[in-house]
Amino acid sequence: MRKFEDSLPLQLLKAREATMAFFRPLLQENNITEQQWRVLRALKAFGELESKQLADHCCILSPSLTGIIKRLEHQGYITRKKSEEDQRRTLIRLTEKSQVLFTRLSPDVEAKYKRFTDLYGTEKLTELSQLLKELTELESDSQDN
């Protein structure tokens, strides 16, 4: 068995924590958790979604997402409505308040990304991103076998 510190899942978790250290203070200043921000970002990127789609995009388990959605709705950042085509489906979308949040936070988020890129390097970040995409594709390949 490999050494504990050489565990790939552990290294990925540590890398995630190092990355989030750039963004976490900004989110905390705005009373948004990392998971809430991920949900808001997904809705911004993909538009109206069902909770299952949202869970998949955000890599959040459905039971956890339920609480996150309730809190975001209570904060006024999202709304839920029944689909007009199929009343069994509930669609989640951003509110005007969340659009204001994006407008306000976008320059700060981009500044954090720039700082991160300046420290890590554009080439290395591009290569890392490509390698991580390839790694995540292994999951779907392994499920096919």
* Full residue range of the structural domain in which residue 64 is found: 9-144
Report yes or no on 126 lying in a domain. Answer: yes
Report yes or no on 110 lying in a domain. Answer: yes
Domain count, the chain: 1
Residue 141 is predicted with a pLDDT of 59
Report yes or no on 70 lying in a domain. Answer: yes
CATH label of the domain that carries residue 34:
1.10.10.10
* CA triple 43-45-48, angle to 5 deg: 40
pLDDT along the chain (145 residues), means of 10: 89 94 95 96 96 94 94 97 81 96 95 95 96 87 57
Report yes or no on 3 lying in a domain. Answer: no
- Entry pTM: 0.86
SS (H, E, C) the chain: CCCHHHCHHHHHHHHHHHHHHHHHHHHHHCCCCHHHHHHHHHHHHHCCEEHHHHHHHHCCCHHHHHHHHHHHHHCCCEEEEECCCCCCCEEEEECHHHHHHHHHHHHHHHHHHHHHHHHHCHHHHHHHHHHHHHHHHHHHHHHHC
Report yes or no on 134 lying in a domain. Answer: yes
Report yes or no on 1 lying in a domain. Answer: no
Report yes or no on 4 lying in a domain. Answer: no
Residue 5 is predicted with a pLDDT of 85
